[in-house]
Amino acid sequence: MTSRVRFGVAILFLIIGIVLHVQLGIGDAWYLYLASALLAATHFLFGNIWPAFAQLQKGNLLKAEVLLHQTRYPDYLLPRPRAYYYLSRGIIALKQEELDDGQTDLEEALKLGLRTATDTALANLNLAHIHYKKQNITEVKQHLAAAKTASSNDLLIKQGIEELEKVV
């Protein structure tokens, strides 16, 4: 469920709750108030980060970018979704050759902490790629080492590490 739908349902529940409250009393409306508050909270605390990250994993950069732009206040997100917000933004920025923005976002994602070793390795591999394009060989080696120590079993990440090690 996208963030907009979730927020719309929260507003709908609030309106129905108010109508029930006026007509029948708080006893018949409290659960709608609660549902509305919970849906509104998830709207602000989680945003569209997970659907955007799923689109990014499928290779749909445009859809992922559209979903990420619907998150207006990333500072309101919980730390874990915020980390994936920055990871997704960093990968998209790298694909668009915006290296400085990508580096900043990926470093922020690593600082906030990613859920899996594969995601940590992915962030470090992308940072190594950015530093390779910027010709910072010592940074490339540091991020490659960090990607290796993340102990990811993803074959594409292992292949990316091997390819970067060959050119460094």
DSSP letter for 20, please: H
What pLDDT shows up at residue 72? 85
What pLDDT shows up at residue 64? 93
The CA-atom distances, in angstroms, between 139 and each of 25, 101, 108, 166 are 64, 17, 16, 15
Helix pair 137-149, 155-167: axis angle to 10 deg: 150
14-54 pLDDT, tens digit per residue, is 999 999 999 999 999 999 999 999 998 888 888 889 999 99
101-159 pLDDT, tens digit per residue, is 999 999 999 999 999 999 999 999 999 999 999 999 999 999 999 999 987 788 888 89
Query: What is the mean pLDDT of the segment spanning 4-21?
Result: 92
What pLDDT shows up at residue 25? 93
What pLDDT shows up at residue 22? 95
User: pLDDT grade, residue 1 (50/70/90)?
Assistant: low
What span, in angstroms and rounded, lies between the C-alpha atoms of 32 and 102? 42
72-86 pLDDT, tens digit per residue, is 889 989 999 999 999
| Long-range Cβ contacts of 32-40 (<8 Å, 24+ apart) | 35/10, 36/10, 36/11, 37/10, 39/6, 39/7, 39/9, 39/10, 39/13, 40/7, 40/10
What pLDDT shows up at residue 151? 75
3-state helix, strand, coil in the chain (%, to 5): 80, 0, 20
Q: What does pTM read for this prediction?
A: 0.86
What pLDDT shows up at residue 98? 95
Tokens of 33: 């108030």
Question: Rounded to an integer, what is the distance from CA 154 to the centroid of its chain?
Answer: 19
Q: Residues 28, 16: contact at Cβ < 8 Å?
A: no
